Amino acid sequence: MTIPVASRATYLNCAFKPGYWSGDVAPTSFYDPVNFTKLEITSQTQESDDLVSNIEGSIGENLASVQRPTESAKLSAELNYMSPQMFALLIGADLSEVAQTTGDITDEAVTLAVGLWVPLANKYLSSTGMTLKTAADATVDPTHYAVDTINGLIKALDSTGATGTKFSYSKAARKVEMHKAGKAKSAYVMLVGTGTEKVSQKRCRIVVHKASLAGSGVFDPVTGKYVSGTLEGKLITPSTETSPWQYESLDLDA
């Protein structure tokens, strides 16, 4: 293959699959492509280190000048469609799966007040089979109280509802994708990308070998829009590579 010498434009459409390093061990599997709306790779920052002449006739002129790296290459990404693992990194969370089995709770003691939500001992409740009783075992009509079955909360709607002291209900079987968020989390991520260069209509490949990424920016669940966020971090050159990332232009038609 002879590399062409003519100038050309580059216009890319890409898809990147993330994989996670385990210490010094490269990823052995990758997740589905992430919808990146920005994937900005910044080259090393360099500044000149000048040797300025103090010799008569050339005072103030450079006798030598070299570029000295001051900051390594880095990556800044914005994304809004991703796997749960990437979402956990985005919001700084420990990710786990929690399973709740069914179970009947009989006469759990509650102290109710009109208009206030009171926590129960469990959450993720079944919406059927709930009974509120007074201390004298009289059943309180459901129109006098409300239950938040997901959070496990009960509220007396009036003074009649507030007479309830014993609540019976059932836990529902639930699998929960648990994100314990707001922590200082980071991960070594490898991005394996394919793309189409639209001008030449040729395929390409882009690989970010190892990026130390952490979530940055804000998480706002009430905007009424798709949840998005940012990841930032420095690029690392693994011992098996000679650069932090690479771009490969193929002779394969799109």
Residue 119 has pLDDT above 80, yes or no: yes
Mean pLDDT of all residues in 197-211: 97
233 in the Ramachandran plot: left (φ > 0), alpha (ψ -120 to 50) or beta? left
Residue 218 has pLDDT above 90, yes or no: no
Instruction: Kindly state the tokens that stand for 117.
Output: 């939500």
| pTM of the entire predicted model | 0.87
Tell me phi and psi for residue 88, to 5 degrees: -65, -40
Residue 118 has pLDDT above 90, yes or no: yes
Do the Cβ atoms of 156 and 162 come closer than 8 Å? yes
pLDDT, tens only, 159-183: 999 999 999 999 999 999 999 999 9
Residue 49 has pLDDT above 90, yes or no: yes
